[in-house]
């Protein structure tokens, strides 16, 4: 018998038929002798509908506290429907909102972080042989105001609950059936991984893979919660995200991923003086713009070029901010290129195996793909290339590192 946390995303509970399928799957897990805590998202589309209402009601600037009161209704609907459906099938179940199960967060509405979960309350309900259905994505601050956790919130709720109650593992059911060596839509030779380390999953998520959000993986790593990524629509085994073990060391590269949502910004001929970089980046960070790869070339004649990437959606805002700053710091000009993508290799084996970078560059060069920027971490190499080469680059790298074959 295991204590299991199962999380089902919005597409898995998009309508009553799918909620019914999920209910049957939960029942199966129970009948196999497990204790189950379920975490649900809102029905697919519902959160967007509510956000639309909030924006229409306020000209796009809803009060953060009230915004959270509004959008948290989405999960409230799915958990009550699921609990009543399970009971209708003869299985004792009980729904809990973030406020009821005491998922206490800080008071940052829409981006709240979990501080504490009342594991005792969940344990009490489990002891009564009930299936616990918890509303994901939401919590409550110390004063009782409803908060929401932001992007990846339900995954985060599930992992946090698993950690709090000491679950044996956490399963997250989604519309893909695991973590692949690359996006199967881009390359049909993509292979599903049986196992991947937290660190690799973090780098893959950060580099554009959409299966899991970084936050939930960080939390799983911190509390060492084994995390299964599985499909809500079939019984395939999925991928286990877990801590590094000896098996894993064999894989030099685990996956290739890409991110088409970045734009490249170059500030040309910046006077190379202390404090200039701060002057450029502080106004961006003040506007919550996430700057990713940053590269500064060696200085020539007291001038340098600064290049970095930003989310494509922020291009207009960044252009406006930097045009002003560039003048202030006497830079020559700002050039923004949205026509790029970032292709990344991730693998634990990079630590010990040299030559991954050179093999990557050679493979891209072999197809005439020019590398515009490079950045590396301990277990990742990313290259910015022209956008039109994205799929080609993914396939070439997948082949170069023989990712279609399990090692």
Q: Footprint of a second copy on this chain (CB under 8 A)? A: 16, 19-20, 50, 53-54, 56-59, 61-63, 65-67, 69-70, 72-73, 76-77, 79-81, 83-85, 87-88, 94-95, 97, 99-100, 144
Q: For residue 300, with 0-12 CB atoms within 10 Å meaning exposed, 13-18 middle and 19 or more buried, which class applies? A: exposed
Beta carbon nearer to a second copy, 26 or 276:
26
CB of 167 to a second copy, least distance (A): 24
CB of 101 to a second copy, least distance (A): 10
Tokens representing residue 86 in the block? 């399970």
Beta carbon nearer to a second copy, 89 or 333:
89
Beta carbon nearer to a second copy, 69 or 291:
69
Tokens representing residue 49 in the block? 């509908």
- CB count within 10 Å of CB 52 equals 10
CB of 286 to a second copy, least distance (A): 23
CB of 227 to a second copy, least distance (A): 28
Using only C-alpha atoms, what is the Rg of the chain? 23
CB of 38 to a second copy, least distance (A): 13
Q: Is 242 in contact with 195 (CB distance < 8 Å)?
A: yes
Tokens representing residue 115 in the block? 């501080």
Beta carbon nearer to a second copy, 82 or 369:
82
Per-residue b or e along 161-174, where b marks 16 or more CB atoms closer than 10 Å to that residue's CB: bbbbbebebbbbbb
CB of 145 to a second copy, least distance (A): 8
Beta carbon nearer to a second copy, 19 or 346:
19
Residues 6+ away with beta carbon under 8 Å from 391: 186, 187
Beta carbon nearer to a second copy, 70 or 364:
70
CB of 26 to a second copy, least distance (A): 14
Distance CA 179, CA 242 (A): 13
Strand 131-135 and strand 93-96: pairing? parallel
Distance CA 407, CA 403 (A): 8
Beta carbon nearer to a second copy, 135 or 163:
135
Per DSSP, helices labelled H in 105-234 are 119-127, 153-165, 198-206, 214-223
Beta carbon nearer to a second copy, 3 or 69:
69
Backbone angles phi, psi at 378, to 5 degrees: -60, -40
CB of 79 to a second copy, least distance (A): 7
Tokens representing residue 63 in the block? 């009060």
**Closest by Cα among 38, 16, 18, 42 to 27:** 38
Q: Is 132 in contact with 103 (CB distance < 8 Å)?
A: no
Q: Is 94 in contact with 132 (CB distance < 8 Å)?
A: yes
């Amino acid at each position: 018998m295991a204590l299991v946390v199962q999380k089902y995303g919005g597409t898995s509970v998009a309508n009553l038929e799918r909620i019914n399928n999920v209910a049957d799957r939960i029942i199966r897990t129970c009948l196999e002798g497990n204790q189950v805590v379920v975490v649900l998202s809102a029905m697919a589309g519902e959160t967007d509908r509510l956000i639309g209402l909030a924006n229409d009601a306020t000209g796009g600037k809803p009060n953060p506290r009230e915004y959270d009161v509004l959008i948290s209704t989405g999960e409230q609907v799915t958990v009550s429907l699921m609990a009543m459906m399970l009971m209708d099938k003869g299985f004792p179940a009980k729904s809990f909102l973030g406020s009821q199960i005491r998922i206490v967060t800080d008071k940052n509405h829409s981006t709240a972080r979990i501080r504490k979960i009342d594991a005792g309350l969940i344990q009490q309900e489990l002891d009564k042989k009930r299936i616990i259905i918890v509303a994901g994505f939401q919590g409550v601050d110390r004063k009782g105001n409803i908060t929401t956790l932001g992007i990846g919130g339900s995954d985060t709720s599930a992992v946090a609950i698993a950690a709090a109650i000491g679950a044996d593992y956490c399963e997250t059911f989604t519309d893909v059936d695991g973590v692949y060596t690359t996006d199967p839509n881009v390359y049909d030779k993509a292979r599903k991984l049986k196992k991947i380390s937290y660190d690799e999953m973090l780098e893959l998520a950060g580099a554009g893979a959409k299966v899991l959000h970084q936050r939930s993986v960080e939390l799983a790593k911190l509390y060492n919660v084994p995390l299964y990524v599985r499909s809500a629509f079939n019984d395939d085994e999925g991928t286990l995200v877990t801590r590094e073990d000896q098996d894993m060391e064999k894989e030099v590269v685990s996956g290739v991923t890409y991110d088409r949502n970045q734009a490249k910004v170059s500030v040309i001929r910046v006077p190379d003086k202390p404090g200039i970089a701060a002057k450029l980046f502080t106004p961006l960070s003040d506007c919550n713009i996430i700057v990713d790869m940053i590269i500064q070339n060696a200085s020539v004649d007291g001038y340098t070029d600064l290049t970095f990437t930003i989310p494509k959606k922020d291009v207009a805002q960044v252009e406006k901010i930097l045009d002003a700053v560039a003048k202030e710091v006497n830079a020559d000009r700002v050039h923004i290129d949205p026509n790029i993508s970032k292709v990344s290799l991730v693998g634990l084996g990079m630590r010990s195996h040299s030559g991954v970078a050179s093999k990557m560059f050679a493979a891209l060069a072999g197809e005439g793909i020019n590398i515009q920027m490079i950045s590396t971490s301990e277990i990742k190499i990313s290259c910015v290339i022209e956008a039109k080469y994205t799929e080609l680059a993914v396939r070439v790298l997948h082949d170069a590192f023989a990712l279609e074959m399990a090692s």
